[in-house]
Amino acid sequence: MVADQITGASVATILTGDFNESKHEVLVSQFAACGYATVQTDEVTWRRRPFVLDHIFYNAPLCCVSRAVCRTPASDHHALVADFEFV
């Protein structure tokens, strides 16, 4: 349902969150088919298991210029932070 809502957006769009998908490759592929990239797919974001659950997806009007997974004991998820520029 989310993919249907964001497909074809002509303005800069960022979608973030804990997607609770243990096989993040499937999720990343699904959003890539809608024109969105994620800022990272390699660093684990969930402390309980080695999963990349948290993502920041963005579309073509934007370019990710930096990103970081910030380790924190404050949550069971590490913080994912990214900076963007308009292209």
Which tens digit of pLDDT belongs to each residue from 41-57? 999 999 999 999 999 99
DSSP string computed for 18-87: E---SSHHHHHHHHHTTTEEES-SSS--BSSSS---EEEEEETTEEEEEEEEE--TTSSB-EEEEEEEE-
- For residue 76, what pLDDT is reported? 96
Beta bridge partners of residue 84, listed in sequence order: 64
Residue 10 pLDDT greater than 90, yes or no: no
